[in-house]
Amino acid sequence: HYPLMADNKEAKTAPTPAQPETQETRDVFRKMSEYLNGEISASTHEYQLLGKLNLIVANKYKGMQEKASKLNSFLRGLDEKYAKLEPYLKQVNQLHDNVAKMEQVVVQLDEYTKNLEDQFKAVYK
């Protein structure tokens, strides 16, 4: 069944219930647009914050790298100084060992002289 012309005229002149729905649809789209803009804005701020944090961390790591480099240079210098001192340290250790041996000899000599003195006193008594 095809609509009559008169029916079409009525449809044009009578207020359609779609007009309030159109306004509601516009409100929904506007609110969705506001929501999405807010989400995009929040994401943009988060990315900006992440960028700033990355710069801060990069600067901190750069400072740590500089400190590590200085520490490495300092340790190399200490190694060089130790290498120069090592022969002297070996001599000190040898001297210490010799002194310990001499102390043992002195103790033995002291015991020997005490025994000799005791024997000498026994002979001249």
Full DSSP string of 9-23: HHHHHSPPTHHHHHH
**pLDDT tens profile 35-79:** 999 999 999 999 999 999 999 999 999 999 999 999 999 999 999
Residue 2 has phi, psi (to 5 degrees) of -90, 140
**pLDDT tens profile 73-121:** 999 999 999 999 999 999 999 999 999 999 999 999 999 999 999 998 8
Residue 49 has phi, psi (to 5 degrees) of -65, -45
* pTM confidence score: 0.48
In three-state secondary structure terms, 1 is coil
Query: How far out from the chain centre does Cα 13 lie?
Result: 75
The secondary structure of residue 15, as a DSSP letter, is P
